[in-house]
Amino acid sequence: MELMAYIRKDIKNLISLMDRKFIVDTPLRKWIKLNIYPKHNLIIKTKKEYRCTNCNKIFYDNTPIGDKTTCPKCKMKLLVRLNTLKYYKFCEWFRVLEYVDGYFVLRGFEVLSEYHDKKFSRYVSEHQRLVIGKDNIYLLFSNKFKIFLGNVWIDHSIKHTTWRLCNSYFSPWYWSAGIIYTGNIDVDINNTSYQYCDIKPVVSETKDFIYILQRILKYPLSYELLIKMGLTNLAVECDNFFIKGSFEKRFGVSKDYLPFIQKYNLTYKELKILGVIKRKNIRIIRKLSSLNYFDELNSKLDILKALNNGLNKDNESIYRDYLDFAERLKFNMKDKKILYPDNLKQAHDQLLKQIKDNEDKKMVEDIEKRYIELKGNTYKDKKYIIYPVPSYADLLLESSMQHNCVRTYNFRYANHEIDLYFMRLISNQEKSLVTIEVKDNMVVQSKIKNNQTPTKEQLKFIESWENNILKHS
């Protein structure tokens, strides 16, 4: 796997500037001692005595070896090990947010704590820098960062000498993680275009934070305004608020809605819903914001009537399919009895039967053509494989095994409105596992049997497929 790329001159100059500016100062060292080191300790058991290596407190307990107990003095919950323990280590990553020359930089560090000869040795090494610009992200590795066959480790025994640029295609796999130290950021951005941008309220441990920083670099005035108004949830999407003009032009509602928006710190989706329904009712807004297909359903329905008629996040897919069936069958889409059926599931199933009766040979052929078009997006590892739906027969079988209505997506799939994929175990590709719907190269939904959410491991594999295949297809 090729990870290194040619470093342009401007990036070389930026690296040189960072090396002159960035240090590990006393406040950062104190922060590490307060936030990292206390967790890197043990409770050492000698007969009936327990000693905490964090505060050296000796106490009596009955926690078994290998379990955790809480020190009565420092209140740290630590692992219990025997006093005969020869060696134990802790590794933890954290990040430091800096600003330099128009870039935000997340410096990746690892703390290594080694217990040996009844005492701890501590090592802190900077191994990575994620350089975030307005339009680009660059990942730099120190020579201390080692990778082989997907395994990553930090060599604390060697001295840092060089930074290497990672090929951005692979970079999300290797971005550093952990809590973020922002102690110097206010000083960094002083006397810049971002000096009034309070960065800290939107700092999180998710990688989405990286894209928020990019938006701040592009739209600092919008971000600053939203933060000062107490609208931190809107601030993270400041790119949607750089339009000049009246409050209503910028926010989609008149200014008398501002206290309500501030009180509930609305998200961008909630604000858009408020602009549609024009009602200061947070319960209704949050019900509607839970819908994945709000915009589509709102374009066909009076969304509040539909909500009163039983629309919710659990049946929105059925409602969406029902409306699609009605349109394809040339029903009167202004008829309230059609739009708001008394029994949604029953009405859905009745139209589904009519649709199935109208299936034709062209649809079957079009699905097979779609498989040929999309099979280049096939993705697998040692455990899982994702591939496009091969045929209408496979779609019917999937729907039967999964107890869902994916079979009703046949026309959307055949007509290039959506893409459909199956995720299987490599060891058992005949058995249904996860059904995935994709639109515009983004995963819209993924479901296992009975429309349940996949496991964390399955979702992680799907995310990897989306980032590394769909976004580049």
Give the model confidence (pLDDT) of 309-345 as tens digits.
Answer: 999 999 998 999 999 989 988 899 999 999 999 999 9
CA 70 vs CA 38, 65, 83, 96: distances in Å: 12, 13, 18, 29
pTM, full prediction: 0.66
How far is it, in rounded angstroms, from Cα 27 to Cα 212? 26
Residues 49-69: what's their mean pLDDT?
Answer: 95
- pLDDT band for position 4 (50/70/90)? low
Residue 131: its H or E element: strand 119-132
**Are the CB atoms for 462 and 439 separated by under 8 Å?**
no
Residue with tokens 């959410």: 453
How far is it, in rounded angstroms, from Cα 110 to Cα 112? 6
How far is it, in rounded angstroms, from Cα 70 to Cα 330? 68
- pLDDT band for position 363 (50/70/90)? confident
34 or 328: which carries more pLDDT confidence? 34
Give the model confidence (pLDDT) of 175-204 as tens digits.
Answer: 888 999 998 898 999 999 899 898 888 787
Other Cβ atoms closer than 10 A to 342: 9
Residue 319: its H or E element: helix 316-328
> What is the bridge-based pairing of β-strands 68-70 and 77-82?
antiparallel
Identify the pLDDT of residue 5.
54
Residue with tokens 């995963």: 443
- pLDDT band for position 235 (50/70/90)? very high
The sign one gets for the Cα dihedral 419, 424, 429, 431 is: negative
Task: Please calculate the CA angle 298-302-305 and round it to the nearest 5 degrees.
Answer: 125
How far is it, in rounded angstroms, from Cα 358 to Cα 182? 61
User: Considering just the CA atoms, what is the radius of gyration of the chain in Å?
Assistant: 28
How far is it, in rounded angstroms, from Cα 339 to Cα 322? 9
